C-alpha cells in the first residue's frame, strides 16, 4: 500500500512538472523576441519615458503641421518675426520638389536594421573602425565629416548625410541628404538650392533632390524636452542624429562622439581651436545621456 501511494505521488509530481513546463514554454513563446536581440520597446522605465515612436524624425507635408507651442519653440531658435503662414508656404514649396512620403515606418520584430552613426571626433584617428562602420545597413554621417583619405578609420559608405546650410557639402547621387532646419532662412535656402537661385548663403551644393529628407521641428523639440530635459538652447545635430537612429533602426552603433581622453575637442580631419566648447548645446548632458543609453544596452558606443 505504501509503495502504491509513493508511486502515485511520484507520478503526480512528474505530471505537475510537465504541465508547468508546457505553461512556461507557452508563455515564453508569447514574449516578443527581437531578431536584433534587444527591443526598443523594453520595460526599462528610464528609456520608456524618453523614447516615443509617435515622434517621427522626418517631416511630410501632413506632419509639417505642428502645434502652436512647437512652432513658437522652433521660432525662438532663430529670433525671427516670420509667422505660421510663411512657414507653411515655404514647406509647401519644399514638398513640391522633394518626396512627400513617410519613410522608415516598417518596424517589426523580424527586422534587424543596423545604423552606424558617425561623428567627427578625433578619437576616430587610428581606430580602424572603417569595416565595422561600413557593415551598417544605414551609415549616417554628420555635417562635413569626410571619408576620402580616412577610410581605414571611418569607412567609405554613406547612406545618409546630416547637414544644415552652414555645414553643407556636395552629396553624391545615391546618398540621402537629411536636412535640419533651425531657422526659417534654412528652409528658404533649401528651396533656393533646387531653384539654383541661392542668394541666402555663400555656399550652394549638389544633391539628389529625390533623396532629400527634412527633419521635423516637432521631433527636434521632442529630443530637447524629453531626452535632454531642456539642457542647452537646443540639441546638437549629432545628438539628434543619434536619437533619429534609435527611431529608424533596431541596432545602433555610435562612432566618433565626445572629447578625447584629455578632454580636448578635435575633429579627425582638422584641428579646432583649444578654446572650443559645445556652446549653445548641452554637450556634457548629451554625452552623459549617450553613456546612459550604452549602459542600458540601447546602443553600442565606439570611441
pLDDT tens column, 121-158:
999 999 999 999 999 999 999 999 999 999 999 999 99
Beta partners for residue 300, in sequence order: 253
* Residue pair 171/177 in contact by the 8 Å Cβ criterion: yes
Residue 295: pLDDT over 80: yes
Residue 258: pLDDT over 60: yes
* Residue 18: predicted pLDDT: 45
Residue 205: pLDDT over 90: no
Q: Helix (H, G, I), strand (E, B), or coil: what is residue 290?
A: helix
Residue 48: pLDDT over 90: yes
Residue 174: pLDDT over 70: yes
C-alpha cell at 283: 554637450
C-alpha cell at 31: 514574449
Which of the two residues, 247 and 6, has the higher pLDDT score? 247
d(CA 107, CA 261): 37
pTM, entire model: 0.84
Calculate mean pLDDT across residues 222-226.
97
- Model confidence at 271, pLDDT cuts 50, 70, 90, reads confident
d(CA 53, CA 108): 13
Active site residues: 234, 281
Distance of CA 77 to the CA centre of its chain: 21
Calculate mean pLDDT across residues 56-72.
94
Closest C-alpha to 192, from 222, 168, 159: 168
Residue 100: pLDDT over 70: yes
Amino acid at each position: 500500500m505504501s509503495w502504491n501511494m509513493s508511486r502515485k505521488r511520484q507520478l503526480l509530481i512528474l505530471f505537475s512538472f510537465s504541465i508547468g513546463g508546457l505553461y512556461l514554454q507557452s508563455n515564453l513563446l508569447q514574449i516578443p523576441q527581437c531578431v536584433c536581440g534587444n527591443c526598443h520597446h523594453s520595460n526599462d522605465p528610464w528609456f520608456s519615458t524618453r523614447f516615443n515612436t509617435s515622434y517621427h524624425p522626418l517631416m511630410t507635408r501632413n506632419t509639417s503641421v505642428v502645434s502652436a507651442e512647437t512652432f513658437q519653440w522652433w521660432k525662438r531658435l532663430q529670433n525671427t518675426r516670420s509667422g505660421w503662414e510663411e512657414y507653411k508656404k515655404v514647406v509647401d514649396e519644399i514638398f513640391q520638389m522633394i518626396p512627400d512620403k513617410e519613410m522608415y515606418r516598417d518596424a517589426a520584430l523580424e527586422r534587424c536594421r543596423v545604423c552606424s552613426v558617425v561623428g567627427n571626433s578625433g578619437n576616430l584617428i587610428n581606430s580602424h573602425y572603417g569595416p565595422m562602420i561600413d557593415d551598417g545597413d544605414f551609415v549616417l554621417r554628420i555635417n562635413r565629416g569626410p571619408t576620402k583619405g580616412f577610410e581605414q578609420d571611418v569607412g567609405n559608405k554613406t547612406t545618409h548625410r546630416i547637414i544644415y546650410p552652414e555645414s553643407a557639402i556636395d552629396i553624391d547621387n545615391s546618398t540621402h541628404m537629411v536636412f535640419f532646419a533651425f531657422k526659417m532662412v534654412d528652409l528658404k535656402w533649401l528651396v533656393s538650392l533646387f531653384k539654383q537661385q541661392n542668394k541666402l548663403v555663400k555656399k550652394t551644393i549638389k544633391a539628389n533632390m529625390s533623396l532629400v529628407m527634412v527633419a521635423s521641428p516637432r521631433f527636434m523639440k521632442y529630443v530637447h524636452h524629453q531626452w535632454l530635459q531642456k539642457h542647452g538652447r537646443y540639441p546638437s545635430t549629432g545628438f539628434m542624429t543619434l536619437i533619429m537612429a534609435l527611431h529608424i533602426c533596431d541596432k545602433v552603433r555610435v562612432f566618433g562622439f565626445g572629447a578625447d581622453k584629455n578632454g580636448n575637442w578635435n575633429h579627425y580631419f582638422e584641428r579646432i581651436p583649444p578654446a572650443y566648447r559645445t556652446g549653445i548645446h548641452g554637450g556634457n548632458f548629451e554625452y552623459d545621456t549617450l553613456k546612459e543609453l550604452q549602459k542600458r544596452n540601447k546602443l553600442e558606443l565606439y570611441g
